[in-house]
Structure 1
């Protein structure tokens, strides 16, 4: 396994597209974080910069980082798909690697991608968010960054399923994006709300919402309800009646295991 992982790292780090996409991902996230840190808007008496104050900092940073998960998913599709396209899997098998080693190396690289996101988010937040420069209660709500780790793995295992299934980079990217933006949302329209809430994209993408800001708004409105209609207040309260974080993470992990298991089964049966 170590030998196959080293081979994957050498291959990935020597791939110029990887560095271009990773740099774009990091720069976009940093740019959005800096804008969010310096821009201030007033929404019904609530300043948006409260999003980056304690104890909301890590939840907000994780939410901002989640905007760019699709970039990493597309990169991962290209990375795995190239092994099908250029016959790398076949050559690796001839070089003595087993299918288990090859698939295990892909899972390891997938995990490394997720670790990269956690490191990027943590370092960027420390540098760009003044409130974290104070050492008191530094890691309050850091759990949201750990949830982001699970979310990234969810995005990437789902991406791996598409590329293993189709063995075509372009088709995998198109189907993956269509499923996120069109196919599942349409399917959810025809399902009862209780069932639609458990669809994979719904569960995984909702791991990093904006619950803290909605909670602040609800509290603010509760203190000053004379300026807000009852329908607005009830709508905001309703948005906060989401399933618990542990509940969502649990179902996301189930989907991750399912995606990985199906991908492994297909990978084992594929003729390279």
Structure 2
């Protein structure tokens, strides 16, 4: 494992494009951590203070921060796509196998890279939650709500595993990135079509629970693990807190675990069956 890690580290560290996207990701997270406590938009002439509304209170802060940083997963996917497609562009995949690296070991090195990226991103989430929570939360509660960190880990890992699958399938970074965007838009369109077919001109009543079957597609389900933060108007009126504690969507958590194994298996199949 140490050998595989060393090989991947050199490929990532000495690639200019990868370094640029890592820097962009870092800057995005740092700016969010700085601006979030001071972000007070004016809506209908009234200043909205998210801190007073409980956005950075435990345990809701776990959900809010993980959900916000989750939007940066596209940058992490680009890092993975760039790393893998460069193997074909520069011929390093073929050279590695000539030097004695088996296809299974090569595949393992990419899994290690994905795990490191996911662990690193999860560490950033935890650090931001602890820093902001310790500064602005009315009470410090590390354990309650930490399930969102597990949900975030699965969301990011599943997303970049899917990006890895597209990279090996298409071999070109532009094609893989475009496919990721198009598939995401396509699944959203299918969700809209399902809504129209099922409900037509009589949409469900407010508060009525129903399930979109298209939410279980790979990219839709990936975004549903954490879902948007929960807000309760009654809680705002009674206690002054808009953001309320919630739980991750366990059915989508399990669905993404399934997709992780599915796309890892398909990726290994492609690597073994395709010529160098």
* TM-score of the superposed pair, with normalisation by structure 1: 0.83
Alignment of 1:15-94 (within 5 A): 15-41=15-41, 47-49=49-51, 50-94=54-98
Q: Is the 2:191–2:212 Cα contact (8 Å) retained in structure 1?
A: no
Pairwise CA distance, 1:135: 8.0
Q: Is the 1:203–1:248 Cα contact (8 Å) retained in structure 2?
A: yes
Pairwise CA distance, 1:148: 0.7
Distance 1:207 1:201 in 2: 11
1:194 to 189, 212, 218: 212
Closer, same or farther: CA 218–69 of 1 in aligned 2, 3 Å: farther
Q: Is the 1:34–1:128 Cα contact (8 Å) retained in structure 2?
A: no
Size of the aligned set, in residue pairs, is 252
SS at match of 2:227: coil
Distance 1:51 1:128 in 2: 10
Pairwise CA distance, 1:103: 0.2
1:203 to 221, 229, 242: 221
* TM-score of the superposed pair, with normalisation by structure 2: 0.82
Match of residue 204 from structure 2: none
Closer, same or farther: CA 55–42 of 1 in aligned 2, 3 Å: farther
Structure 2: segments with no counterpart, 5+ residues? 199-210, 240-244
Pairwise CA distance, 1:139: 3.2
Q: Is the 1:41–1:48 Cα contact (8 Å) retained in structure 2?
A: no
Match of residue 174 from structure 1: 178
Q: Which moved more, 1:25-34 or 1:164-173?
A: 25-34
Structure (1/2) with the larger helix percentage: 1
Match of residue 101 from structure 2: 97
Pairwise CA distance, 1:131: 3.8
Structure 1: segments with no counterpart, 5+ residues? 225-239
1:109 aligns with 2:125: no
Q: Is the 1:37–1:129 Cα contact (8 Å) retained in structure 2?
A: no
Closer, same or farther: CA 271–210 of 1 in aligned 2, 3 Å: same
Q: Is the 2:225–2:252 Cα contact (8 Å) retained in structure 1?
A: yes
Q: Is the 1:42–1:48 Cα contact (8 Å) retained in structure 2?
A: no
Pairwise CA distance, 1:220: 3.5
**C-alpha RMSD of the superposition:** 2.7
Match of residue 118 from structure 1: 122
Distance 1:114 1:134 in 2: 30
